[in-house]
């Protein structure tokens, strides 16, 4: 709306939450080889992951969820879960930059605008650090780390 063009593309992730999982796992895990994560909440269990670059759309590719499911079953063969039904698979888009680093800085055209986004799959885990940096930028104080790698205008 202010005329700033940012290089971002949508990266689609998938997940499914199971209810009432018998003998559910006790601890969350990141399954690095399968590029997915598994998170228990009492008797509920969420499996999710992947990063699909297919443009700005809501199309669900069930094969992506099958890959996540297979990775979970490979790591937890005793887990009593079925392949999620295609019409119940959750999906969402994450903002991804070309170099994988978020944008966290001001833009030269606006002194009263701080941009913080493009965290891809790490938005929640990087949120507190980003919030601290944004706070420092708004207060016009020196940032706690060098943010030159995160400059909004780094692509020209």
Question: Which CATH number covers residue 61?
Answer: 3.30.9.10
The whole-angstrom distance between residue 79's C-alpha and the CA centroid of its chain comes to 25
Containing structural domain, residue 68? 9-96
Half-sphere exposure of 148 (CA within 13 A, CB side): 1
pLDDT at 76: 97
Q: How many domains are contained in the chain?
A: 2
Domain contains 46: yes
- Would you put residue 42 in left (φ > 0), alpha (ψ -120 to 50) or beta? left
Over range 119-124, report the average pLDDT.
88
Q: pLDDT tens, 24-78?
A: 999 999 999 999 999 999 999 999 998 999 999 999 999 999 999 999 999 999 9
- Beta strands of the chain (E only): which ranges? 9-18, 29-31, 36-41, 44-52, 90-96, 103-107, 110-117
Residue 140 pLDDT grade (very low, low, confident, very high; cuts 50, 70, 90): very high
pLDDT at 87: 96
């Amino acid at each position: 709306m202010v005329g700033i063009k940012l290089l971002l593309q949508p990266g689609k992730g998938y997940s499914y939450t199971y209810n009432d999982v018998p003998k559910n796992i006790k601890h969350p895990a990141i399954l690095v080889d399968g590029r997915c994560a598994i998170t228990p909440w009492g008797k509920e269990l969420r499996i999710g992951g992947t990063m699909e670059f297919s443009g700005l759309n809501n199309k669900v590719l069930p094969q992506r969820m099958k890959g996540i499911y297979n990775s979970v079953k490979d790591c937890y063969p005793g887990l009593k879960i079925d392949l999620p039904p295609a019409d119940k698979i959750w999906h969402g888009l994450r903002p991804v930059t070309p170099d994988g680093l978020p944008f966290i800085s001001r833009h030269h055209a606006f002194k009263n605008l701080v941009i913080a986004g493009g965290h891809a799959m790490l938005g929640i885990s990087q949120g507190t650090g980003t919030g601290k940096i944004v706070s420092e930028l708004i207060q016009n104080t020196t940032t706690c780390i060098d943010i030159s790698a995160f400059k909004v205008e780094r692509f020209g």
